[in-house]
Amino acid sequence: MRNLISKKSKILLAILILLLLCIMILSSTLGAADISFVEALRIMTGFSSKYTNETHKVIILKIRMPRIFLAALVGIGLSIVGGTFQGLFKNQLADPYVLGISSGAGLGATLAIIFSFEGAVLGFAFNSLCAFIGAILTALLVFTVAKVGNKLSVANMLLAGLAVSFFMSSIISILMIINRNQIEKIMFWLMGSVSTANWNQVIMASIVILSSMLIILFFSRELNIMSLGEENALTLGVEAEKVKFILLIVCALVVASCVAISGIIGFVGLIVPNMVRILTGPDYKKLLPFSAVFGGMFLVLCDTISRILMPPMELPIGAITALFGSPFFLYLIVKSKRNVM
């Protein structure tokens, strides 16, 4: 595999990964049950003694850790897709939901909630499966509409994504008005949560998100070249259309998976890559892996806040990310306006 980043960057990345693991362990100690950092570490590493509280063991291994791992994975997936889309669309305000995939997932989940599809397959609730199907079908629709001959038009994709997003959001609104008794459930899902996480979801999400991340990282050099313009990329030997198609398919799969298991969590894929860009610069060989790690940290912290801010009530994680993300989004708008002037 290509040498993606320098030795210094690899060391820094390794340190950040260790920091992410420490944050995850610390997060597992916070909540209604008072569990120390050392006890949590012992439970997770299997070195628990006969004096370990069995209730704490259940809380750590079966309740808190699955949702913490899932939050980290979703943060990783959304952040690396956000960074990739910002490169493909040459727009720092692009986010993982720019193609309307989240609205398709939202419609799928809304229909599942309204028609009371109950039960689970491989640990996934039917509303998650319906959300995944809705997201994939939406992505296929947008790609079909945006395709011009053998090429995927970026402008057409953005316009098709916007139109599809508005259309499906309007259907969701109509369904919520008609089914007022289900509004609370639908709204909570749409605002995002990992509260129902289990280890089956973590395993499946790990396979999809981490393997997709490796594919995206493999094309970081091509993203750097394509940022100079597709014509320049062709002269440098990069098959821009092929790379674009592969990255869009992989990113769509990641977004569909993330939304299906956690609902719509906004701003992660928008603010994290832009924050990392300030630290690392525009080089996608550094931007993408660092965005993935910082994205995992950010969403684990936001999920922790959503759990402990107003106990025993739990806030939707999307509300917390929006609380931090909205001011930064406004900052990006003001910054881009200054650059134009």
Structure confidence by residue, pLDDT tens digits, 102-134? 999 999 999 988 987 766 665 567 788 899 999
Average pLDDT over residues 96-101: 91
> Looking at residue 336, what is its pLDDT?
66
CATH 2.20.25.10 fits 7-16+69-340, yes or no: no
Average pLDDT over residues 230-237: 72
With pLDDT > 70 as the criterion, what percentage of the chain qualifies?
92
Q: Where are the alpha helices (DSSP H) in 181-316?
A: 183-190, 199-218, 220-226, 230-235, 240-262, 268-280, 284-308
Checking if the pLDDT of 47 tops 90, the result is no
Torsional class of 326: left (φ above 0), alpha (ψ -120 to 50), beta (otherwise): alpha
Q: Which amino acid is at 269?
A: G
Residue whose tokens read 């997060």: 27
**In the chain, what is the greatest distance between 2 CA atoms, to the nearest angstrom?**
68
Report whether 304 contacts 270 (CB < 8 A): no
With pLDDT > 90 as the criterion, what percentage of the chain qualifies?
45
Q: Where are the alpha helices (DSSP H) in the chain?
A: 7-29, 37-45, 54-58, 65-88, 101-114, 126-146, 154-178, 183-190, 199-218, 220-226, 230-235, 240-262, 268-280, 284-308, 317-340
> Looking at residue 185, what is its pLDDT?
86
Average pLDDT over residues 240-247: 88
Average pLDDT, the chain: 87
> Looking at residue 116, what is its pLDDT?
79
Structure-model confidence comparison of residues 51 and 60, the more confident one: 60
Average pLDDT over residues 197-209: 92
> Looking at residue 265, what is its pLDDT?
92
Q: Which amino acid is at 243?
A: V
CA angle 82, 83, 88 (to 5 degrees): 95
